[in-house]
Structure formats: C-alpha cells, structure tokens
Amino acid sequence: MAAGLFYVYTEPGTVDEAEFHDWYDHEHGPARLAVPGFRTLLRYRALDEQKPTWLALYELDGPEVIDSPEYRALGENPSDRDRTVAAGLATLDRRVYEQIGLNGLDVLPAPAPVVLAVAMSVPAGTEQELAAWYAGEHISMLLQVPGWQRIRRYRLTRSLDEPAPEFLSLHDLAGPQVLEEPSYRAAVSTPWRDRIVASAVRRERRVFGRRDAIEA
C-alpha cells in the first residue's frame, strides 16, 4: 500500500485568525489525527504572498484512509464550532494523493522549515515524459542543491472541492535561501524542464514556511 497525503489549502475569510488557529490546533487537527491511518499533521504559511495562505499536510497510511468510517463520521457529525468556522472560510481546497516516488532523505530529522509544492497536469499521453524528466534530470539536479532535503512525488486520487492538478512534487528545504542557490537556478533553466513546463495544462508553484507540527 502506497503512502497517502491529504493536502489541504485554507483561507480564514471572515473567521478571526486567532480563532481559526485555536480551532485547528486544539479541535480540528487532533480529531483527524485520532482517525486510524492519519500519521502526522504539519501546518505551513505562505511565503510567496499568494493565496490561499495556509497549507495543512496530513501524512496517511494510504489514500483510502479518507474513505474510512472514522473519517467520514467527522464530516457527518460536526461540532457547532466546526460549522461556524467552516461557514466563514474563504477557501477550503482538499486533495488526496498517492505517493509515487521518494528521493533524498527517507525520514527528516525534523520537519522541514520550508516546503516547495509544485503541482501540474500534463497532456494525455505525456505522463511518461514527465516521469522521465524527473528521473533522468530534475531530481538529481535538485538534490545537488545545498539544503535540498527530500523530494516526494504524488498522483492525485481525488479532489474533494475544486479541480486540481494531477501530479504533485513536494520538496523539503532547509530554508528559503535554498531557492536562491545558483544550482537551483540551473536546475530550473534546462531545455527539458522548459519543454515540460510549456506543455503543462495546469501548474501551481507555492512556497510555504512551517508553522507547527502535531504528531499522532
């Protein structure tokens, strides 16, 4: 069974930010971590001045955890506070992924201070070209960048709210300065990379800094 990732964007909207974080830290997050198959929760804030501002990363035993009776019960029996906060959110974008690749450190000594999330869809029939670029060039170049800790690749299994790109690459970085390294600039300036990006049907590139971590 491949590992899963529950990837959740939120924007508080009319919800007071302090209330939003108190709800997430002390009610919403812990309730999900009590579900069998939910491993960890990491929360990140946007460093790129884009919205949504908040990203939650839940590591799962597998994407099928989202179909479990225990997880479904959370949505079927929300608390009054759940209803109030949910009604005030400007954005709720939930995506379920299945891991298809891991390079770099298998386990980080501590949660990454910064994550770079790159999601894209490619034209039908070109998925193998995308995989070949990662395996044949992109991964090796990125892992030579000082501070580039780990690369995890995922394929979308379900989007619960909005259409989403099919493939996600999640990059764990030692800090924001990693993205200023000359070797990173070289890795994103090759002809092969340019062909892949030019052909992408939809592409997102987001940079987030870690807020906190809760472990099951």
Q: Which phi and psi angles does 91 have, rounded to 5°?
A: -140, 135
pLDDT digits (tens, 9 = 90+) for 55-87: 999 999 999 999 999 999 999 999 999 999 999
| DSSP letter string, 106-135 | SS-SS--SEEEEEEEE--TT-HHHHHHHII
In this predicted structure, what is the pLDDT of residue 207?
Answer: 98
Residue 2: pLDDT band (50, 70, 90) is confident
In this predicted structure, what is the pLDDT of residue 201?
Answer: 93
Share of the chain above pLDDT 70, in %: 98
Q: Please say if the pLDDT value at position 212 is more than 90.
A: no
What whole-number distance in Å separates Cα of residue 119 and Cα of residue 71? 25
Per-residue CA distances from 26 to 14, 77, 80, 91 (Å):
20, 17, 14, 20
pLDDT digits (tens, 9 = 90+) for 4-55: 999 999 999 999 999 999 999 999 999 999 999 999 999 999 999 999 999 9
| Mean pLDDT along residues 131-135 | 98
- The DSSP 8-state label assigned to residue 216 in this structure reads -
Q: Please say if the pLDDT value at position 215 is more than 60.
A: no
Share of the chain above pLDDT 90, in %: 96
Q: How many domains does the chain have?
A: 1
Domain of residue 69, residue span: 4-215
User: Which residue, 101, 93, 104, is CA-closest to 174?
Assistant: 104
Q: Please say if the pLDDT value at position 216 is more than 60.
A: no
CB 190 within 8 A of CB 137: yes
- The DSSP 8-state label assigned to residue 96 in this structure reads E
Q: E strands of the chain, at which residues?
A: 4-11, 38-46, 54-60, 91-104, 114-121, 148-159, 167-173, 202-215
Report the CATH number at residue 177. Answer: 3.30.70.100
CB 63 within 8 A of CB 38: no
